[in-house]
Amino acid sequence: MQTRTIEIELNGKTCSRAVPVTQTLASLLREGFGLSTSISCGEGNCGTCSVLVDGQPVRSCLMLAVQASGRTVTSLEGLADQLPRLQKAFAENHAIQCGYCAPGFMIASAALLCSNSTPSEAEIREAIKGHLCRCSGYSGFVSAILDAAAHE
């Protein structure tokens, strides 16, 4: 199997690793680095595997690990000071039920709040529309993000 050595800045640390060229970034993060990035559909339909690449949210299942070479990758663990505020807002607004989709939702929320610190409900719904929650707790996410924005 063809491999390539990539160097990425993952959650603030420079990492170098040989990866199979067929491996997705999602698989590298979860299986290679043991991070919280959830993998579900593998086809870009559910949003559980979203991470930030160079600060922009993307589906990590729709990006090969080799394509992340030379880039900055941020998973939930790398959200640093944003994370506690999001976790508190998600918990208080009952936005997490089984929790499987939470990493993707939190990445989408963090990306939204970075570009727009006072989003409207419509803007929030637009930002999370690519994320599926099988427990169907969508209004919980919306109020959690509004709450997180208010406590910025």
Partner 1 sequence: MFTYSAPTSIEEVLDVLSEWGSRARILAGGQTLLPLIHSGRLSPEHLVDINGVRSLDFVELQDDLTVGACCRQHSLDVFLRTRQRHSLLAQALPLIADNEIRNRGTICGSLAAAPLGAELPAIALTYNATLHVQSKRGDREIGATSLYKEDGTVTLEPDEILTSVVFPDSGESGAAIEEIRYTQLSFPACGAAVLVDAQGGVCASLRLSVFGRGIPAQRIDQAESLVEGEKLSDHLLDELAARIRKVVRVDSVPGVPADYARQVAGSLGARAFKRAVAQCEALTSRVQ
Under the rule (CB under 8 A), what is the footprint of partner 1? 1-2, 4, 21-22, 24, 42-45, 47, 50, 53, 56-59, 61-64, 66-67, 108, 126-127, 129-130
d(CA 30, CA 103): 12
Torsion of CA 114, 120, 121, 124, to 10 degrees: -20
Shortest Å distance, C-beta 41 to partner 1: 9
Between 69 and 88, CB nearer to partner 1: 69
State the nearest-atom distance from the C-beta of 1 to partner 1, in Å. 7
We find the least distance from the C-beta atom of residue 130 to partner 1, in angstroms, to be 3
Pairing of strands 50-53, 56-59: antiparallel
- Closer Cβ to partner 1, 129 or 134, answer by number: 129
* Cα angle, residue 103 at apex, residues 98 and 108 outer, rounded to 5°: 125
Q: What is the CA radius of gyration of the chain?
A: 15
Distance CA 92, CA 89 (A): 5
Q: Which is nearer to partner 1, 2 or 136 (CB)?
A: 2
Minimum separation from the CB atom of position 57 to partner 1 (A)? 5
Residue whose CB is less far from partner 1, 33 or 138: 138
Region label for 106, one of left (φ > 0), alpha (ψ between -120 and 50) or beta (otherwise): alpha
